[in-house]
Amino acid sequence: STVSVIGLGYIGLPTAAMFASRKVKVIGIDINQHAVDTINQGKIHIVEPELDMVVHAAVAEGFLRASTKAEPADAFLIAVPTPFKDDHEPDLSYVRSAAESIAPVLKKGDIVILESTSPVGTTEQMLQWLAATRPDLCFPTEGAATTDIDVNIAYCPERVLPGHVIRELVENDRIIGGLSEACSKKAADIYRVFVTGELLFTNARTAEMAKLTENSFRDVNIAFANELSLISDKLDINVWELIKLANHHPRVNILQPGCGVGGHCIAVDPWFIVDKTPDEARMIRTAREVNDHKPEWVLGKINAAIAALTAAGREEASITVALMGLAFKPNIDDLRESPAVQIAKQFATATQSKLILVEPNIEIPPAHLADQKLASVEDAIAVADVVVLLVKHREFATIKEKLSSNTILIDAIGIDVA
Ligand code: SAJ
């Protein structure tokens, strides 16, 4: 049987490659011609450890092929982006166009699985889009007898951690939310090809909510840590020591404060809950606001340091500020939705001081910081008056020992906390 994966990004491409590595014929579909061409050459357009090897082998052995046009297959996995609009309203346009692009090639016995992180109800909505294009097929709507159903539909969220995708795709437990029990069974058969983790069965709505719940849980817990860092700063308490002490309690496990919450999941998914149930999701909304405010707070600390230096007689334009780390989390090169980048951008436009950026995991600055230069750790701390630690990269571990006594250190991440 043939699997088609629609959306060859951070989730779709590794998933396609995993099926292909188990000798299943895979057709990957993406609207991005560059991505399609790159994959067909056996290369990858995204950064993820080990992925290049798996894709290279899959393409070379003829099990994986990419295209911009939908083709017939037996199973369709949709892994397209589900961003939100300015007002935090979910944008399902990619899911809709993915559904409408595969609808014409669907046939009796196929299964369509949505993997994209989605607001509750999206799988049912996807069914409506499919059914509108294919009135000739019977979909698993309420009241339809199992025997009448032509196309199965399920929601099966991915839960892999960027940087560990290849291992987690195989080992993580997987939630299977069919629109009917028969749909779930069929979806499970697909995933059993490479998943060694447990397969957990539920309905589509619960599966959608489970994915949102996992990331909201983490967001709320990080917000708690970030709020503690603001409180501790006001009360002249070292938040890192505080958390370490509190975590010795057998039932307390506080996460780490940082310069904000980045990435394309944790800072997005909770809004899908808030959007559906604004009156009930009070804590989830507040957590988002607390975490989104953290970059502003760090900027305030930097400005206060500059103000202290100018008060002591320094010209603002003569002050050098080094921002250490741009990625959205430690030891990766992913700058997407990074709070550190947000801080750098805002600071660059507002300051007269000189700015130095340090990001050991990339070679050229991102487009919106293109006029900035990247420096090495050593070069930056040799000249900086203010050093701001934004990301806990391993290259920064011993930075404190290297600073001269009159350098001002702003540590947003607790560099010496193990
Ligand atoms: N962060 C903190 N303090 C902490 C932990 C994290 O400030 O104690 C920050 C990070 O620096 C980063 C952000 O939170 O900016 C998110 O990082 P992360 O490592 O918590 O998560 P992601 O976004 O890389 O991946 C998450 C994972 N979800 C959970 O752990 C519940 C992953 O399993 C999901 O598959 C992924 O979201 C996703 O795709 O939804």
Per-residue pLDDT averaged across 51-63, rounded? 97
Average pLDDT over residues 219-246: 98
The CATH code of the domain that includes 276 is 3.40.50.720
Which is catalytic among the residues 186, 211, 294, 329? Answer: 211
User: What pLDDT was estimated at residue 163?
Assistant: 85
**Catalytic residue list contains 400:** no
Asked if residue 365 and residue 301 are part of one domain, the reply reads yes
Determine the distance separating the centroid of ligand 1 and the alpha carbon of 267, expressed in angstroms.
9
pLDDT one-digit tens code per residue, 59-107: 999 999 999 999 999 999 999 999 999 889 999 999 999 999 999 999 9
Q: What domain count does the chain have?
A: 2
Q: From ligand 1's centre to the CA of 150, what distance in Å?
A: 38
| pLDDT given for residue 357 in this prediction | 96
Active-site residue flag, 211 = yes
Nearest to 64 by CA among 27, 37, 14: 27
Q: Last residue of some domain: 156, 178, 212?
A: 212
Atom number of ligand 1 nearest to Cα 262: 15
CA distance 190 to 359: 40
Q: What's this model's pTM, rounded to 2 decimal places?
A: 0.93
Pocket perturbation via mutation, ligand 1, pick of 84, 166, 209, 218 by most ligand atoms within 8 A of CB? 218
Of the three residues 177, 212, 247, the one that is the final residue of a domain is 212
What per-residue confidence (pLDDT) applies to 302? 98
- Between the CA of 181 and the centroid of ligand 1 the distance, in Å, is 32
Which of 178, 212, 246 is a domain's end point?
A: 212
Whether residue 247 is found in the same domain as residue 202: no
Q: Domain check: are 166 and 35 in the same one?
A: yes
By the 10 Å C-beta count (0-12 exposed, 13-18 middle, 19+ buried), 234 is classed as exposed
In a domain, 222, yes or no: no
For atom 32 of ligand 1, which residue has the closest CA?
A: 161
pLDDT for the residue numbered 418: 74
Examine the domain organization and report whether 79 and 43 are in the same domain: yes
Ligand 1 atom with minimal separation from the 160 CA: 35
Q: What spacing in Å lies between the alpha carbon of 148 and ligand 1's midpoint? A: 42
CA 392 to ligand 1: nearest atom:
11
Residue from 215, 227, 230 to probe ligand 1 pocket by mutation (most atoms less than 8 Å from CB): 215
Kindly tell me if the per-residue pLDDT of 143 is higher than 70: no
Residues 370 and 271 in one domain: yes
Predicted confidence band at 1 (pLDDT cuts at 50, 70, 90)? very high
| 51 shares its domain with 174 | yes
Q: Which residue segment(s) compose the domain that 367 sits in?
A: 238-411
- Going by alpha carbons, the residue nearest to atom 11 of ligand 1 is 329
- Mutate which of 297, 329, 396 for ligand 1 pocket (most atoms within 8 A of beta carbon): 329
| Catalytic one of 156, 259, 265, 294 | 265
Q: Residues of the chain with pLDDT > 70: what percent?
A: 99
Note whether 19 and 134 are same-domain residues. Answer: yes
Dump pLDDT digits (tens) for 277-321: 999 999 999 999 999 999 999 999 999 999 999 999 999 999 999
Among protein residues, the one whose CA lies closest to atom 9 of ligand 1: 261
Atom number in ligand 1 closest to CA 269: 40
Instruction: Give buried/exposed letters for 135-161 (b at 16+ CB in 10 A, else e).
Output: eebbbbeeeeeeeebbbbbbbbbbbbe
Q: Which residue has the higher pLDDT, 8 or 141?
A: 8
98 C-alpha to center of ligand 1: Å? 27
- Closest approach atom of ligand 1 to CA 258: 7
Nearest CA to ligand 1 atom 13: 261
Ligand 1: which residues within 6 Å by Cβ?
117, 159-162, 214-215, 218, 222, 255-256, 258, 261-263, 265-266, 328-329
The residue whose CB lies within 8 Å of the most ligand 1 atoms, and thus the one to mutate among 118, 161, 243, is 161
Give the ligand 1 atom nearest the CA of 211. Answer: 40
Whether residues 181 and 244 share a domain: the answer is no
**Average pLDDT over every residue of 341-358:** 95
Cα–Cα distance, 270 to 210 (Å, whole number): 11
How far away, in angstroms, is 114 Cα from ligand 1 center?
A: 22
Does the structure show a pLDDT above 90 at 47?
no
Residues 85, 7 within the same domain: yes
Q: CA torsion sign, 174 to 177 to 182 to 183?
A: negative
Say how many Å lie between the CA of residue 9 and the centre of ligand 1.
18
Average of per-residue pLDDT values in the chain: 95
CA 344 to centroid of ligand 1, rounded, Å: 21
Tens digits of residue pLDDT in 380-412? 999 999 999 999 999 999 999 999 999 999 999
Task: Please name the residue whose Cα sits nearest to atom 38 of ligand 1.
Answer: 265
CA distance 133 to 141: 15
This complex has an ipTM of 0.96
Asked, for residue 416, whether it belongs to a domain, the answer is no
Same domain membership, residue 271 and residue 173? no
**Res. 147: pLDDT tops 80:** no
Atom number of ligand 1 nearest to Cα 158:
35
